[in-house]
Amino acid sequence: MNKSELVEVAAKEAGIPKAAAEKALSAIIGAVVQTVAAGDSVTLIGFGTFKSANRAARTGKNPKTGAILNISATTVPKFTAGSAFRAAVAPKKPAAKAAKKK
């Protein structure tokens, strides 16, 4: 699903025009990006948490030449799915009943 498809679904579910749904989605995405870029986290209970994470400097290897190269430290965005989101994506299978002893 891309952004325009998401806007279409949001507009239909909320009963609002597509233009309003697109404006709201863009505002939400902008707020999340701005907050995470500032070093804070955004938590949506049940959905997940957006935050920034520090990635340490490390050495890598050029796959074409095999040459060793240094990769500098950087900050990257990170998303951790919430419990309700994880459960919706991969529902737990019912536990097998223990065999009864006779």
Residue 100 falls inside a structural domain: no
Q: What is the pTM of this model?
A: 0.76
Structural domain of residue 27, as residue ranges?
Answer: 1-38
Tell me the pLDDT tens digit for each residue of 29-84: 999 999 999 999 999 999 999 999 999 999 999 999 999 999 999 999 999 999 99
Residues 46 and 83 in one domain: yes
pLDDT of residue 97: 66
- CATH code at 59? 4.10.520.10
Helix (H/G/I), strand (E/B), else coil: 59 = strand
CB atoms within 10 A of CB 21: 20
Residues 53 and 76 in one domain: yes
Which residue in 56, 46, 102 sits closest to 76, CA to CA?
Answer: 56
